Structure 1
């Protein structure tokens, strides 16, 4: 009980005394997948459908913010995908993406211009999250320092899920490099939470909404709720030990009444307001 109260106090300190006037979030699928469940959960099998969720956030003072960017538009074309991702990768991940699924087209469908995007927060830099970076050269990219460095030279067992083509042109971009938990705008509206394990510098986003309260956009802190509930590791994890610690961190938030949303969990995507319907 003492630990629970301490954790709850920690959460309250990050946004409990601030109210996000007008902050709202919608989700889009920037790369639908149909793949073997074993790619997402160690030891699992069977064909599943999964989204590649990107969250679009309207902040009343800071403008338009993206949490992740989805899969690169080149992957929509099988021939171009061979060059961008590498031979056989599109089929291996069961990518069902069309050109209209890419984040640039998704934003245009919602009435935005690409230059409206002021901040791009990256949960991590795997190929299904960093693929749309190229569309936002004028935005500020917010990423954990450990992740940014690791993405340029990953270990051999994780190299397959990092695609240098996604970010090789980003040397001149503006990066805000974080080291651990950070209140992004110092107003309690958006907090980035360090959740390593799946990758070296994975981060989740804790958002404070006026009507819903806190929600946690947990990205790939787990691929599926099933894995999270049962503390199952995922293939291509950077560190299983740190990933299990991240599961504990997520449970602390859930115990405080904060809903968790994952990038690739189909039920999470189906339940979240999407395509211009807003959570506020």
Structure 2
């Protein structure tokens, strides 16, 4: 088996958001990251897990055209141009064309905004998520931004249906965790010195919600989500740590330079 995965987390869109948007019944404000994971695979090259918020949203006027009136303010977006994934890659010494694969946990606007930077990459997405994003139900349409993917029809999509070992080497496994969206998926990575780690994306926004089995206001299906919670609970009970994309503690603990702190 190949060895030597390295992972770095970057914040591609900080939000000062109402906690009630992230967990039903919660109150107050909370600062959260929009995590994107940069993965160096020893044979397949550079891989992204999600792409963050689109660079246009960094400008309040451009955000109105891109996301729609009031959306930037409603989500408390504090993004600057340097938060966008292309600039984040540049800061780490990479170029956008270095990215070979982009794995999408789902296509909500805080995860799919950077797709435009990688027209030559292979995008790995659950088939039903891709189809749903183009024509969502009215009550979930607010969190899908057509501008994120309207120019991607010519992209190379690897549409999968179910759990897969992405490269058949045991290093990156994708597992379906629907509920928050129809085709939401999480990623399990095998690290040489850490063992298995699960990137749970938005299976839950906050660990508090995950631990309490609490739904989120913009979940597609709360009943199906409860099954996905239990799927990750089984992983957690077996000793596999779960890292959620928006949980502040999870982002703070995750390495920012490809190495784990002692």
The TM-score bracket by the shorter chain reads over 0.9
Q: Which residue of 1 aligns with 2:144?
A: 162
Q: Which residue of 2 aligns with 1:251?
A: 233
Q: Which residue of 1 aligns with 2:82?
A: 100
Q: Which residue of 2 aligns with 1:278?
A: 259
Task: Give the alignment partner of residue 50 of structure 2, picking from 63, 68, 92.
Answer: 68
Shift of 1:278: 2.3
Q: How far apart, CA to CA, are the structure 2 residues paired with 1:74 and 1:269?
A: 24
Task: Give the alignment partner of residue 90 of structure 1, picking from 44, 68, 72.
Answer: 72
Shift of 1:238: 0.6
Q: Which residue of 2 aligns with 1:6?
A: none
- Moved runs in structure 1, 4+ residues, more than 3 A? none
Q: Which residue of 1 aligns with 2:201?
A: 219
Q: Give the root-mean-square deviation of aligned CA atoms.
A: 0.9
Q: Which residue of 2 aligns with 1:194?
A: 176
For structure 2, the 5+ residue unaligned runs are none
Q: Which residue of 1 aligns with 2:134?
A: 152
Question: Is contact 1:26-1:279 (8 Å) kept?
Answer: no
Q: How far apart, CA to CA, are the structure 1 residues paired with 2:14 and 2:21?
A: 15
Q: How far apart, CA to CA, are the structure 1 residues paired with 2:143 and 2:96?
A: 26
Q: Which residue of 2 aligns with 1:139?
A: 121
Q: How far apart, CA to CA, are the structure 2 residues paired with 1:46 and 1:253?
A: 31
Q: Which residue of 1 aligns with 2:242?
A: 260
1:42 aligns with 2:30: no
Shift of 1:22: 1.2
Secondary structure, counterpart of 2:153 in structure 1: helix
Shift of 1:279: 4.1
1:228 aligns with 2:210: yes
The TM-score normalised by the length of structure 2 is: 0.98
Question: Is contact 2:6-2:258 (8 Å) kept?
Answer: no
1:125 aligns with 2:98: no
Question: Is contact 1:30-1:97 (8 Å) kept?
Answer: yes
Question: How many correspondences in the alignment?
Answer: 261
The TM-score normalised by the length of structure 1 is: 0.92
Question: Is contact 1:24-1:279 (8 Å) kept?
Answer: no
Q: How far apart, CA to CA, are the structure 2 residues paired with 1:278 and 1:172?
A: 35
Q: How far apart, CA to CA, are the structure 1 residues paired with 2:167 and 2:258?
A: 24
